[in-house]
């Protein structure tokens, strides 16, 4: 569920021209991030666009005000299963993905619009409860659902767009500096552990299963991190390593993660032992918890809730990216759509 926000070029419609160099390649061949690269490589921009594709949200100047905007889509059987989650869970999860993107810019969302599609035989009560879940999650940050669209689709599809006012200081992915500390707030690996539990046909431990059903992004810590001087920030939706890599590449730095600094919660270690898995794998590669990963100057006081898990250095021979315990990570290290 990566977003394809990044600074865009001045070449209008070159995306169409870009078709020629794709040959017969499919979405699966390119993978999620390769596709995003292709789709955004030729987009036009305008003076109103302050931040285009490539960050957690875009930033646009509208009538003199700077506005953040982001969209995320959840699809039945890809992002959720009706037999695993209640419709309220699904609505909350769908809203959380977009609300966390706004938080990761150091901001707070004000409003959501929702495109909802589903099959004709879906109980209307399911759609209503899902909408209630969207509204409940939005209410956690004081946002409202202000509109939407409904349509007919074989599988339930929920695209949530969030908008909010840009604060005076927007924290992008691209401001990390060598010497900064790397810190995280929120859960790591809980959703992945819950997915592992559910995939094996179990419904407990409840804490992990519930974490997979409804993430708990630390929304308030996004603006606090901005206030305390965060130099870069990203919402962890694809996995710690994958999203640290996005931040590292945007900032042209090396992010070194210290796996010993990841304190493994009892809930994760118990489940991991039962499945003979290293719980740190969940914490390093599991997505969908929507924790916040931020970098701060070494001298900064961190907001309560953030823990230091690494440091930023200038890139080495392998270029910008992520190392774990000083070993460069060449893996994909996170979930990508289209790649099995």
Residues 100-119 that bind a copy of itself (CB under 8 A): 110-111, 113-119
Sole binder of a copy of itself in the list 57, 85, 191, 323 (CB under 8 A)? 57
Q: Which one, 25 or 326, has the nearer CB to a copy of itself?
A: 25
Whole-angstrom Cα distance, residue 81 to residue 190?
Answer: 17
Closest listed residue to residue 162, CA positions, set 216, 215, 218, 94: 94
Whole-angstrom Cα distance, residue 289 to residue 224?
Answer: 19
Q: Restricting to residues 81-100, name those near a copy of itself by CB under 8 A.
A: 88
Sole binder of a copy of itself in the list 127, 228, 264, 281 (CB under 8 A)? 127
Rg of the chain taking only CA atoms, in angstroms: 19
SS3 228: coil
By CB under 8 A, tell whether 71 contacts a copy of itself: yes
Q: Which stretch binds a copy of itself (CB under 8 A): 39-47, 207-215, 216-224, 258-266?
A: 39-47
Whole-angstrom Cα distance, residue 232 to residue 240?
Answer: 15
Whole-angstrom Cα distance, residue 174 to residue 128?
Answer: 39
Token code pair at residue 39? 């789709």
By CB under 8 A, tell whether 278 contacts a copy of itself: no
By CB under 8 A, tell whether 42 contacts a copy of itself: yes
Closest listed residue to residue 310, CA positions, set 188, 223, 224, 184: 184
Those residues whose C-beta lies under 8 Å from the C-beta of residue 320, and which sit 6 or more positions away, are 248, 249, 251, 252, 253, 254
Token code pair at residue 267? 């809930």
Q: What is the DSSP letter of 100?
A: H
Q: Restricting to residues 152-211, name those near a copy of itself by CB under 8 A.
A: 152-155, 157, 159, 161, 163-166
Q: Restricting to residues 310-339, name those near a copy of itself by CB under 8 A.
A: 337-338
Q: Restricting to residues 17-36, name those near a copy of itself by CB under 8 A.
A: 18-20, 22-30, 32, 34-36
Those residues whose C-beta lies under 8 Å from the C-beta of residue 33, and which sit 6 or more positions away, are 2, 336
By CB under 8 A, tell whether 132 contacts a copy of itself: yes
Residues 52, 2: contact at Cβ < 8 Å? no
By CB under 8 A, tell whether 70 contacts a copy of itself: yes
Q: Which stretch binds a copy of itself (CB under 8 A): 124-132, 206-214, 228-236, 275-283?
A: 124-132
Token code pair at residue 311? 């440091």
Sole binder of a copy of itself in the list 136, 210, 269, 313 (CB under 8 A)? 136
Query: How big is the site for a copy of itself, counted in residues (CB under 8 A)?
Result: 104
SS3 232: strand
CA dihedral in degrees (113, 98, 212, 129; nearest 10)? -10
Q: Which one, 170 or 322, has the nearer CB to a copy of itself?
A: 170
Closest listed residue to residue 131, CA positions, set 158, 105, 155: 158
By CB under 8 A, tell whether 140 contacts a copy of itself: no
In whole angstroms, the minimum distance from the beta carbon of 188 to a copy of itself comes to 22
In whole angstroms, the minimum distance from the beta carbon of 251 to a copy of itself comes to 19
In whole angstroms, the minimum distance from the beta carbon of 175 to a copy of itself comes to 19
In whole angstroms, the minimum distance from the beta carbon of 57 to a copy of itself comes to 7
In whole angstroms, the minimum distance from the beta carbon of 109 to a copy of itself comes to 10
By CB under 8 A, tell whether 240 contacts a copy of itself: no
């Amino acid at each position: 569920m990566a977003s394809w926000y990044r600074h865009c070029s001045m070449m209008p419609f070159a995306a169409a021209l870009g078709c020629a160099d794709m040959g017969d390649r499919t979405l699966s061949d390119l993978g999620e991030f390769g596709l995003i690269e292709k789709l955004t490589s030729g987009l036009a921009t305008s003076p109103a666009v302050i931040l285009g594709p490539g960050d957690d949200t875009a930033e646009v100047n509208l009538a003199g005000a700077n506005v953040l905007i982001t969209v995320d889509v959840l699809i039945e059987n890809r992002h959720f299963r009706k037999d695993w989650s209640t419709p309220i869970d699904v609505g909350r999860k769908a809203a959380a993905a977009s609300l966390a993107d706004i938080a990761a810019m150091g901001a707070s969302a004000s409003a959501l619009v929702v495109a909802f599609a589903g099959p004709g035989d879906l109980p209307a009560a399911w759609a209503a409860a899902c909408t209630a879940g969207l509204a409940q999650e939005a209410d956690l940050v004081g946002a409202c659902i202000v509109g939407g669209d409904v349509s007919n689709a074989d599988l339930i599809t929920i695209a949530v767009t969030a908008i909010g006012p840009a604060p005076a200081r927007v924290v992008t992915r691209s401001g990390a500096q060598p010497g900064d500390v790397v810190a995280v707030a929120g859960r790591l690996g809980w959703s992945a552990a819950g997915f592992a539990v559910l995939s094996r046909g179990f419904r407990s431990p409840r804490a992990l299963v519930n974490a997979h059903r409804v993430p708990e992004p630390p929304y308030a810590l996004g603006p606090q991190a901005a206030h305390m001087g965060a130099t870069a920030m990203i919402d962890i939706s694809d996995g710690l390593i994958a999203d640290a890599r996005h931040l590292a590449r945007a900032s042209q730095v090396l992010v070194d993660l210290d796996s010993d600094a990841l304190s493994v919660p009892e809930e994760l270690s118990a489940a991991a032992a039962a499945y003979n898995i290293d719980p740190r794998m969940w914490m390093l590669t599991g997505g969908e918890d929507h924790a916040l990963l931020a970098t701060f100057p070494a001298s900064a006081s961190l907001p309560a809730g953030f823990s230091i898990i690494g440091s930023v250095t200038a890139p080495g021979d392998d270029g910008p990216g992520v190392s774990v315990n000083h070993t460069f990570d060449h893996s994909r290290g996170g979930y990508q759509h289209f790649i099995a």
